[in-house]
Homo-oligomer: A and B are copies of this chain.
């Protein structure tokens, strides 16, 4: 018999369907009738068609928006891979709850709610009405000593992400953005990237919150050691997540899967969300069509992740903060694309000549 979490994950993966061809065709036909030269809105046209196909609506309504920010700590920080101390994870989560972090500002700017989840912070946080606790453990184990988590913990983290997003779907959700907080979490993200895309660790490892050259070199060594100690199976996304991942990364993979199962488009943030997307699309390849890559992170492995999955980022603004900040900006563009499809007049409605001159 399957473990409950495994059953949840399999149920969700089984219900993720290919995109709706009919809604896609209707949206594409409508784009051709809108008062503009065909194709002149560029990627916003493609995006609107993708959104229609995901939502199964010719004119998708994206009024209800949420950024889900998953937080967790990482045993590997004991090896000195981050420029900030571990206590900052919990402190920043408090900042999210008080509305003072970058993600709060950007989520307000785009009209999205922020959902903050403790997936495994290495501290006990006070109860707060806006904090969801799904703590798997107070931080992962140090992956240079052995797997960061057990297979069961990996399943739990994904299932928790599914549970969180399904609760949001119940309260009304048209589009979701992913975000992360976790001191040290570019280290597992680079490890996941190196294992799955089979690129050298040094090509996919960056400065995170601000490492100098010596610390960057050390971070690469630590990641190489973790991979050689735990030997994750490149073709087993769950194995990779368990051995060199993180609780917030598993939870974000769960959010992506759960959202897609409910026809909710997912705007993915930067490097850590990208690691989650590698795991999630590894578990369910068709998920890719439900994902929108918001921006290209400064982290050098991000490009490799997006290419592996087959996504093209909308923005390239040299950002590397996480939290869901890039996703919030991408969500704005998604809503812009949807509104153009919904609200623009057609040539007929506006009495504008669509006759092109003969050449």
Contact = CB atoms under 8 A, between A and B. Distances in A.
Interface in A84-129: 84-85, 87-88, 91-92, 94-95, 98, 100-102, 104-106, 108-109
Given A37-B83, A102-B41, A351-B91, A356 B210 contact: yes
A128 B344 CA distance: 20
A64 to B, nearest CB: 16
Given A44-B317, A91-B352, A356-B210, A35 B105 contact: no
A359 B298 contact: no
Q: Is the interface of A mostly helix, strand, loop or mixed?
A: loop
A318 interface: yes
A60 to B, nearest CB: 14
Give how many copies assemble into the complex: 2
Contact of A321 (B41, B319, B355): B41
A100 B321 contact: no
A317 B334 CA distance: 12
A319 B40 contact: yes
| Category for how many chain A residues contact B | 35 or more
Given A40-B321, A82-B357, A343 B92 contact: no
Contact of A319 (B42, B212, B298): B42
A80 B357 CA distance: 8
Nearest to A328: B336
A125 B135 CA distance: 65
Given A43-B318, A318-B43, A357 B105 contact: no
